[in-house]
Structure 1
Amino acid sequence: MDQAQLKAIVVLSEELHFGRTAQRLGMTQPALSQKVSKVENELGITLFTRAHRRIAVTEVGRIFIAHARSALIEMETAVRMAQKASAGQVGQLHLGFVENASFDVLPKAVSTYRRCFPEVDLRLSEMISSELLEKLLAGRLDIALMRPIKTETELELKRRLVHQEPYVAVLPVDHPLAAASSARIEDLVKLPMIIAAGAKATYLREQFGPLFARVGHDIEVGQEVNQLPAMLSLVSSGIGYALLPKSVTNINVPGVTYLPLATPNVPQAELVAVWRGDETNPAIKYFLSFLPRVDDTHWKVANRSH
């Protein structure tokens, strides 16, 4: 028994006339009669009585038709929801992000996406890049906004550069270097750095380790702390300096100053959107359409081993 047969039975119960029912369904009257008879024969019950050109629904038919009508509504709902899901209009999207993504890229994209796709259950989780990558590979995230850290995996990962910004030196306002218009790495390496702890500092160490080595120094860690507000507070107390993406300058913290870096070839802070190549969630491509796109030709070449 298919949807067309159920619909023929339901419409006939409403019209109680073969001619009007056939016209409403866009078929011939003989074809309609065959559908109804086929259902009755298949079920072994009589749904309609036919006498003196009058049609009536039997008691058994009334019960069957009530459930058939509900089944048709469910089928139509299922089709409609499947179509909406295919268009990314319903479903779930689990997005992971690093802390710095929340300063610029994330709020704009999420605000626009929620407005355009209000029926999608959008879940947000903040983690460090290594954790985001782990969750993504395990299928527990749909998209990650993270730093482009290196990884070895047999799974295909797709990446897109969505944001790029310079680093700034964050110094106490009363430090002698704070009076300058910019800071040189050669001067900063002599000072203790306030840096994130453990794996959270992997990306910064990968970027600045070679630069520090070129000027004959290692990164001298004065204090490790994971939370950005705590890091800025430690800088303001005079414990050391920090190297942070320029977007943190939007945070007004008394006692610190932000200086651009004057040393040539200083690395940029990059933010990438990463998702699995075998992912089938349609919501992913629609969310990606709300993320900025950086001209990443050079980045793809430089990071092809990531």
Structure 2
Amino acid sequence: MELRQLRQALVLAETLNFTRAAERLHMAQPPLSTSIRKLEEELGVTLFERLPTGLKITHEGEAVLRQARRALFFVEEVRRAARAGEAGEQGLLRIGFTGSATYVLMPNLIRAFRAAYPRVELMIDEATTSELLRRLEQQTLDVALVAFPVMEPTTCDIAPLVEGRMMLAVGPESRLAARTEVTLAEIADQPFIIHSRTLAPNMHTMTMDAFRTAGVQPRIVQEAAQVHTILRLVESGMGVGLVADFVARYAGGGVKLLPVTDAATQLRMGLALAMLPEACTAIARNFAALAHSMYPERTGA
């Protein structure tokens, strides 16, 4: 049994005439008659009763044609799904993101992507930048929103979307809360919360390099993997910490962000889109195109 035979049978059922059906199918009448007869032989039933006045669909024919319509519908659904998948309009997109992206990129990007591609299913997972890059290389993620600069070796493409500077987060009870700016030297005696050496090595290295250049040894009291953890620890009064300026309006709880005047050029960070080129799907390319259209200037939000 072939799909073309089912289509031929359905057209014949609509016309109840071999000649008219053959015309609609753009074929000669004898091959159509032969095709229908072979279909009946294969099924072991008579689909059409041949009468002097024309054709009549048999009871068995009604049942077969009903299922034929369903079969052809699902075949077309498979083709449509294949076309949509090839265009990146249907399927699954696995997105990873680092904590900082929660405040800036994620809400806008996810909302816009869902509106543009409603048939794409999203699987979203938070992790550190190092973990996200590892998962991209293992192909368990399709795209990731990571912190940059990325100082570790990676085969992923890193495309900056949002850029900013690191600022000092201080709690309402800190002696620095009344200040409008600080230097790294003034932070030396403060309990300092730093990005984790193992879980966020890029941010840890950048911070320590800045202190080293300034000739300052920070008094580290706690390491944290994500920016929201640093903010909550600062808010609780555990110490001070460096976070990106684009999270300022989300700090809350009286946390204040102060510019660090003597390390403005060193303490630069941002958010980027990371992808593995050889594993890039059509859906991932659509997500990347949308991200770059929404953040073309690569400036702080």
TM norm. shorter chain > 0.5: yes
Question: How would you bin the TM-score normalised by the shorter chain?
Answer: 0.7 to 0.9
Percent of residue pairs bearing the same amino acid type: 29
Q: What displacement does 1:97 show?
A: 0.5
Q: Tell whether the 8 Å contact from 1:165 to 1:245 is kept in structure 2 after alignment.
A: yes
Distance 2:83 2:60 in 1: 35
CA distance change for structure 1 residues 66 and 237 in 2, over 3 Å: closer, same or farther? closer
Q: Tell whether the 8 Å contact from 2:130 to 2:200 is kept in structure 1 after alignment.
A: no
Partner of 1:301: none
Distance 1:74 1:294 in 2: 41
Partner of 2:184: 185
Distance 1:59 1:166 in 2: 77
Distance 1:43 1:233 in 2: 71
Q: Tell whether the 8 Å contact from 2:158 to 2:275 is kept in structure 1 after alignment.
A: yes
Letter in structure 2 aligned against 1:32: L
CA distance change for structure 1 residues 230 and 210 in 2, over 3 Å: closer, same or farther? closer
CA distance change for structure 1 residues 150 and 28 in 2, over 3 Å: closer, same or farther? farther
Q: What displacement does 1:12 show?
A: 0.7
Q: Tell whether the 8 Å contact from 1:48 to 1:57 is kept in structure 2 after alignment.
A: yes
Partner of 2:90: 90
Partner of 1:5: 5
Q: Tell whether the 8 Å contact from 2:94 to 2:123 is kept in structure 1 after alignment.
A: yes
Q: Tell whether the 8 Å contact from 2:156 to 2:277 is kept in structure 1 after alignment.
A: yes
Q: Tell whether the 8 Å contact from 1:163 to 1:294 is kept in structure 2 after alignment.
A: no
Distance 2:56 2:193 in 1: 85
Q: What displacement does 1:68 show?
A: 2.3
Q: Which moved more, 1:219-228 or 1:74-83?
A: 219-228
Partner of 1:29: 29
SS at match of 2:101: helix
CA distance change for structure 1 residues 91 and 230 in 2, over 3 Å: closer, same or farther? closer
CA distance change for structure 1 residues 185 and 64 in 2, over 3 Å: closer, same or farther? same
Q: Tell whether the 8 Å contact from 2:183 to 2:261 is kept in structure 1 after alignment.
A: yes
Q: Which moved more, 1:100-109 or 1:75-84?
A: 75-84
Alignment of 1:39-58 (within 5 A): 39-40=39-40, 46-52=46-52, 54-58=54-58
Q: What displacement does 1:233 show?
A: 4.5
Q: Which moved more, 1:27-36 or 1:77-86?
A: 27-36
Partner of 1:160: 159
Letter in structure 1 aligned against 2:212: A
1:201 aligns with 2:200: yes
Partner of 2:214: 215
Q: What displacement does 1:73 show?
A: 1.3
Partner of 1:303: none
Alignment of 1:45-124 (within 5 A): 46-52=46-52, 54-124=54-124
Letter in structure 1 aligned against 2:215: G
> What TM-score, normalized to structure 2?
0.84
Letter in structure 2 aligned against 1:169: L
CA RMSD of aligned residues (A): 2.8
Partner of 1:299: none
Q: What displacement does 1:284 show?
A: 1.0
Q: Tell whether the 8 Å contact from 2:136 to 2:156 is kept in structure 1 after alignment.
A: no
Partner of 1:257: 256
Q: When the two structures are aligned, how many residues end up with a matched partner? A: 294
1:2-30 Cα distance to aligned partner (Å, 9 max, x none): 32222011211232112332233343434
Q: Which moved more, 1:283-292 or 1:110-119?
A: 283-292
Q: Tell whether the 8 Å contact from 1:85 to 1:282 is kept in structure 2 after alignment.
A: yes
CA distance change for structure 1 residues 151 and 11 in 2, over 3 Å: closer, same or farther? farther
Q: Which moved more, 1:39-48 or 1:18-27?
A: 39-48
Q: What displacement does 1:121 show?
A: 1.3
Distance 1:79 1:236 in 2: 55
Letter in structure 1 aligned against 2:88: G
Distance 1:274 1:18 in 2: 60
SS at match of 1:182: coil
Which consecutive residues of structure 2, in runs of 5 or more, have no partner in the other structure? none
Q: Tell whether the 8 Å contact from 1:173 to 1:257 is kept in structure 2 after alignment.
A: yes
Q: Tell whether the 8 Å contact from 1:165 to 1:268 is kept in structure 2 after alignment.
A: yes
Partner of 2:133: 133
Letter in structure 1 aligned against 2:211: F
SS at match of 2:113: helix
1:189-221 Cα distance to aligned partner (Å, 9 max, x none): 343311244533312222122222122234431
CA distance change for structure 1 residues 99 and 14 in 2, over 3 Å: closer, same or farther? same
Which consecutive residues of structure 1, in runs of 5 or more, have no partner in the other structure? 297-306
SS at match of 2:273: strand
Q: What displacement does 1:33 show?
A: 2.9
